[in-house]
Structure 1
Amino acid sequence: MMKKILVIAPSWVGDGVMAQPLYRRLHERHPDLELHVFAPSWTLPLLARMPEVHKAHLNPFGHGQLRLRDRWQVGRMLARERFDQAIVLPNSIKSALVPMFAGIPRRTGFLGESRYWLLNDARELDETALPMMVERFCALAEDKDQPVVRPIPHPRLASSATGRQTALARLQLDTQKPVAAFCPGAEYGPAKRWPSRHFAELAQRFTRAGYQVWLFGSPKDKEIGDEIAALSGHTAINLCGKTGLDEAIDLLSLASVAVCNDSGLMHVAAALDVPLVALYGSSSPDFTPPLTSRSAIATLNLECSPCFERQCPYGHTDCLEKLVPDIPWKAVVQFVPPLTDKADET
């Protein structure tokens, strides 16, 4: 018997990637499943690369917007789909309103923001039993009080050969030299961003080792990318703001290695199975690690971190400032042929 489920997806790109194992598990439990996802526009390119998703519905509501009447109208529109169940991944009260307005008979999610009256399949979150975000998502695929099925598979995104060639041609790029992809942005805040001068020094090292360096990010990261490119002597090519997420996915798939802040693009690189070094400062790899077997974590584990703050509460950001470029440089070696920085030979 066909089952129809609507997932209310998270707003962050990285969280959107980490939701895919949930989608896969839902298909395992319900072989005739038709899975729909309600998601913001900037994450829709992810869903287009996930074969588990039958249809994506645009979530038109920005961060913090209540717009109660508009939510009711969207809910009534979705009611026409006659969903059997909604799974609400965000913990906000606003995210649980649309499934209720849609009249979906079973509404599953963790309790939060006093929304128990919106969810009739509400779960208590045991953070100790489910320390990772991907585990919390997958727990909602199971019936209440049932354990998460392990091991949880890693997310996987498909890339497009045609998309790669189109993006290369449009941006006048080539792959004659191996590509090191850097993702220097972090939407959450500066306490998750490795300093530009460190990225620039690492770019120079990769260039001397025979690599080309591509910088990926959103339009908000363009200024950071420009700074890195200038400090690197323009050895790094700044693509921040020049690609949409769909093109970034295809171009990232061409990289031999990636070096990323804890960001959405880090999770994209991991889901593309690109070997990567993940840089952690204010956040924790215990909660949102790169979900791939080919990653290394670069972190100092200072006493004051992880603090999970957007800005360093002490004003020094030592967790990233003191994470010198030599640390990720040495971590890369386990994934690619031995790197030789020609400056070290002189």
Structure 2
Amino acid sequence: MRKLTILVRSPNWIGDAVVSTAILGPLRKHFQNDKIVVVAKDYVSGIFENNPYVDDIIIFKGFKDIINKIKGDIGIILPNSFSSALLFALSGIKRRIGYKSEMRSFLLTEAIDLPKLKKEHLVENYKRIIIHLAKEENLNGFTPKLFLSEDEKKEPIFEKFSIPCKTEPVIVDPGSAYGRTKVWQVEKYAGLIDYIMNMKKLPVILLGSKDALYLVEEIIKRTKNLPFVLTGKSSLRESINVISRSKLFISPDTGGMHIAASLGVTQIAIFGSSSPLWTAPLNPLSHVIYKRLPCSPCFKRRCPKETYDCLKEITLEDVKEKVEELL
């Protein structure tokens, strides 16, 4: 019997891409002897590296660059965008499965009714596509998971960045590419860092993309202790490796949060404008702090009331209390 090629179009946000790894194990279980290929933007492709369920990763840089590279029998389109369906249609993939959205149904061979978004966890959104394809209602094992290579596990990652960590550090990833409505106040982060370093005698590493450097600078201006700064210095794979070795990971609802969850790291997730129902970390060691105000969740990038009460209501004491419980 001819081996099939199944192509999976990855989401474009790092956090969503991490959540999407949940489908790969069940997909491999159903298509045991077939080829599974992930099509992903360069900046999220590292999420799928070393995944034992994936045979290949194709980097998507643009339509002209990739159309001739994408060949397969079944296309699973996880993003709800028109362009992601168009890509697989132009590539000539025979079966193209995804949700009805953005007037793209004519580009799909199997268009699934789009459920009401943000009323269930995102992983259920992705799971439903695989259940449709496999025709197995009892297919299970939909858990996001990232994998490190043996070389990555052995790498002296802290020494690589001249961080003299003798004990497992606490990692704080304070930024969010989404917007200010996910970012806790800098003075509270500063107070939290000082508390961890003074009272718990643990090193703190600030992590995140270079876009969060301005935020990190503002935090450091307010700290009495000096944390180590990896913000903007580590690659995605290096960040995954660093997070995997942390004692505790603290962040808002962001990509780093989902990375920590997929690695089974003890974590505290601070939620502002978004909803734990939709994007909570799927990790039994996660602890979500969320104030469900009458206006929550609004899912806005900027607070419509300009008050940011959903974040202001989360006090330093709220987070310190949880840290005290976990450390």
TM over 0.5: yes
Deviations 1:233-285 (A, max 9, x none): 24322211011111111111111011111000100011111100100000000
Q: For residues 205 and 49 of structure 1, do their structure 2 counterparts lie closer, same or farther at Cα, with a shift above 3 Å needed?
A: farther
Query: Cα offset for 1:151?
Result: 5.4
Q: 1:178 Cα shift?
A: 3.2
Residues 195-214 of structure 1: per-residue CA shift (max 9 Å, x gap): 11111111011001111111
Paired residue for 2:265, among 244, 266, 274?
A: 274
Q: Deviations over 1:20-78 (max 9, x none)?
A: 111111111111121101101111111114221111111114xxxxxxxxx26622332
- For 1:249 and 1:324, the matched residues in 2 are separated by 28
Root mean square deviation, CA, Å: 2.0
**Aligned positions of 1:307-326 closer than 5 A:** 307-326=298-317
Report whether the alignment pairs 1:196 with 2:186: yes
Out of 99, 112, 117, the residue aligned to residue 88 of structure 2 is 99
Relative to structure 1, the CA distance from residue 282 to residue 93 in structure 2 (aligned partners, 3 Å threshold; closer, same or farther) is same
Equivalent residues in 2 for 1:1-346, closer than 5 Å: 1=1, 2-61=3-62, 71=63, 74-79=66-71, 83-127=72-116, 131-143=120-132, 149=138, 152-160=141-149, 162-163=151-152, 165-208=155-198, 209-336=200-327
- Per-residue CA shift, 1:178-229, capped at 9, x if unaligned? 3111111111111111111111111011001111111110010111112212
Pick which of 195-204 and 147-156 moved more. 147-156
Q: Give the 3-state SS of the residue equivalent to 1:107 in structure 2.
A: strand
Identity, in percent, stands at 28
Q: Deviations over 1:111-165 (max 9, x none)?
A: 1000011001110022389711111111111236957547554212123564363
Alignment check: 8 A CA contact 2:119 2:278 kept? no
Structure 1 145/25 Cα, relative in aligned 2: closer, same or farther at 3 Å?
Answer: closer
Q: Higher mean Cα deviation, 171-180 or 246-255?
A: 171-180
Equivalent pairs counted in the alignment come to 324
Letter in 1 for 2:252: N
8 A Cα contact 1:222 1:238, kept in partner? no
Three-state SS of the structure 2 residue aligned to 1:114 is coil
* Structure 2: runs of 5 or more not aligned: none
Q: Scaled by the length of structure 2, what TM-score is found? A: 0.93
> What is the CA–CA distance in structure 2 between the aligned matches of 1:130 and 1:139, rounded to whole Å?
14
Q: SS at the partner of 1:78?
A: coil
| Whole-angstrom CA distance in 2 between matches of 1:153 and 1:35 | 16
Q: TM-score, normalised by structure 1?
A: 0.88
Structure 1: stretches of 5+ with no match in the other structure: 62-70, 337-346
Q: Residues 172 and 305 (structure 1 numbering): CA distance in 2 closer, same or farther, change over 3 Å?
A: same
8 Å contact from structure 2 (residues 21, 146) kept in 1 = no
